[in-house]
Chains A and B, each alone.
Chain A
Amino acid sequence: MLEQDQKLVQDAQQDPANFAALYDKYFDQIYRYVYRRVSDKETVHDLVSQTFFDALSHIKSFEWRGYPFSSWLYKIAHNNVLKWYREQSKGHNVGLDEIGELADLSVDQVRDASRKEKQLEVQKVIDQLDHEEREIIRLKFFEEVSNIEIAEIMGLSANHIGVKVYRTLKKVKQLLKS
């Protein structure tokens, strides 16, 4: 898996035309990741497009560290989503945690009716978590990314991510009980 990723990345670095293979492999993952963060279809398209264009522009500067290439794409997408939320909250001095709240609020606002109907109890609990906890739960259990990759994406240490996963699950369990 990693070797295949490395080969694709090397090919893309030598010839950008080979970037299409990486695009085909990781488009669905990135699209779902962004869609879970931003329900607005046009915004999702914009953010996904921006993510892949950024990846193409910086593919030559990518350094292989032994992580899957998807981690790098998740990180770009994560930063683009945060940037989009900052632009949405322009004029308001909000922190990252508040951005997470705004994001969830935005998600709630644009979520279509059918999806609201199918919204499960778990989703409600997740929405009650703070921004960082939601991001960890989504990456860990929805994107199925390892703690090391989450640490790479969020710029934290792997041990710190492990502790946060534990605390978040404990918090979700308490919320589910209540």
Chain B
Amino acid sequence: MARPAGRYFASVITKIRDAKKKELIVIDDGFKMQLRQQLMVKIAATSQPQKTSWLEKLAPFKAYLGVVPALAFVIIAVVGISKLPLQFKSDVVVPVGPSSQQNASPKAVVQDQGSPSQDNAANSSSIITFPGRFVIPQGKNSDAAANLVGENQPSSLAMTVSDAPADTSVQKSGVPQDSSQKQQTPLQVQSSDSSDSIGNLNVPQQILQYFTYQPVTQPAPVSQYSETAQDGASADAGSSASVTLAPSVEGSAPLNSADPSVTGSMPSVTALKTPADVSKESSTALMNTENSAGAAADQPLKAATVVQKSEVYTPQRTAKTAPKTVTSATYSLNEMAQLPPKQVDLDVYYNGSFSGDERTVLEQSIVPHLVEGKDVDYVSVYQKDAATVVIELQYADGKTAVYDYKVDQTGTLQLVQQ
């Protein structure tokens, strides 16, 4: 193929270029200048509004206009969520440990709410603290509150004898017990002095008595409390029923003695003690419970096993190291009912199987003294494990106070940790 610029087309191209040279095209300079002016006018006309047009000024921000509805939606959603009754708050202790009753241990569970006792720290291994929990506001019913408290909580406060773990094993006489075991074994001390307070709480001891609990499979009617409470012998004669909770360790028998007589029976009289008392006395004061737990393993505790005792008991080996005798008193439900109940206009939320009497005791005797003089929003009561009841005070300023009460085999509430 010949190139257009080659010799083959040279003659043609020459003729075309000659024709171009002979072409006469006169450019109208007047039109050229006129058109130039028109263009300048148009440029001036178009550039002037551009400087004043607010739409043009907003053009660079056009991309952000789409963000406005999304941002408004987010704000509305956040406001809506913030108005929901559920809020996250920090400094919360949630128990992580045995989730079933068989694995549940009646250990004194220590929460990091400020206990100075080092011995208590030994028992905090089953606690994980994480910053966040549900806080139940006022107005929520107890069912909702129950759902919001930890899922690992046992569904019932009831405990059978078979639930007694090895931690409460009996120490033979003369054998010292380490501090962790000491704490795990509740000290039984009786006293007629009921005016002592526990720790720095404003809760008299007598109101902390006999938090009776019932087996899961055998909920006791309310009337059962009054009947057994009125008849003190009924507790002693409980062997005729399914449960025997004999006060076999009453009297002057030392706590650390391995009295064979306790075999097959459960101590029916218990005492309250503060964590400080635990640390002081638990080094020597031991309670033999292994045999009794083993013998009664197949027998659930009977509700309202109440014995009225007022003897003063001082452990033998603690007299030297603990000059202050820890006293306590045991009251029957009837006596508790005779105590001046306090009516507090406060919401108490329960998580667990708390009977009506238990709630009455909590709401009229324990909780009012706990909240006395404090600006408390509401109170949550739940079971940390099978043997621990936690009373949580939610202050109006958002702070939380948690009181752990251990429920021993006799149904007595013991303040373990504040």
Contacts and interface: CB of A to CB of B under 8 A. Distances in A.
A166 B12 CA distance: 11
A45 B11 CA distance: 35
Contact of B42 (A32, A56, A118, A137): A56
B77 interface: no
B31 A45 contact: yes
Contact of A173 (B11, B35, B36): B11
A123 to B, nearest CB: 6
A169 B13 contact: yes
Interface string A17-38: 1011001100110011001100
Contacts of B32: 27, 31
Interface in B30-69: 31-32, 35-36, 38-40, 42-44, 46-47
Interface stretch (A47-55, A65-73, A97-105, A152-160): A47-55
A118 B24 contact: yes
A41 interface: yes
Contacts of A8: none
A172 B15 CA distance: 10
Interface string A114-140: 110010111100100000000001000
A23 B32 CA distance: 9
A115 B36 CA distance: 28
A118 B38 CA distance: 35
A163 B1 CA distance: 10
B9 A20 contact: no
A35 B25 contact: yes
A169 B31 CA distance: 35
Given A41-B28, A165-B4, A48 B35 contact: yes
Given A36-B25, A48-B35, A169 B9 contact: yes
B363 to A, nearest CB: 79
Contacts of A122: 15-16, 18-19
Contacts of B9: 169-170, 173
A176 interface: yes
Report whether over half of chain B's contact residues are helix, strand or loop; otherwise say mixed.
helix
B140 interface: no
B25 A49 contact: no
Given A16-B47, A41-B28, A122-B19, A176 B2 contact: no
A125 to B, nearest CB: 9
A62 interface: no
B70 interface: no
Q: What's the interface size class on B, roughly?
A: 20 to 34
Contacts of A32: 25, 27
Nearest to A174: B12
B40 to A, nearest CB: 7
A19 B20 contact: no
B399 interface: no
Nearest to B32: A27
A60 B152 CA distance: 69
B22 interface: yes
A118 B22 contact: yes
Contacts of B2: 166
A56 B43 contact: yes
A142 interface: yes
Contact of B17 (A121, A141, A172): A141
A169 B12 contact: yes
Given A53-B39, A122-B18, A169 B4 contact: yes
Given A45-B31, A49-B38, A141 B43 contact: no
Contact of B15 (A20, A170, A176): A176
Interface string B319-350: 00000000000000000000000000000000
B20 A142 contact: yes
19 contacts: A17-B44, A20-B40, A31-B27, A41-B28, A49-B35, A53-B39, A56-B42, A114-B24, A118-B22, A122-B15, A122-B16, A122-B18, A123-B19, A141-B20, A142-B20, A166-B1, A169-B13, A172-B12, A176-B15
Closest 7 pairs between A and B when the two form their complex, measured CB to CB: A122-B19, A16-B43, A141-B16, A169-B9, A173-B12, A120-B19, A122-B15
Interface of B: 1-2, 4, 9, 11-13, 15-20, 22-25, 27-28, 31-32, 35-36, 38-40, 42-44, 46-47
Given A20-B36, A36-B23, A170-B9, 19 more contacts: A16-B46, A16-B47, A19-B39, A20-B39, A23-B35, A27-B35, A31-B25, A31-B32, A52-B35, A115-B24, A122-B15, A122-B16, A122-B18, A141-B13, A141-B16, A142-B23, A162-B4, A169-B12, A172-B12
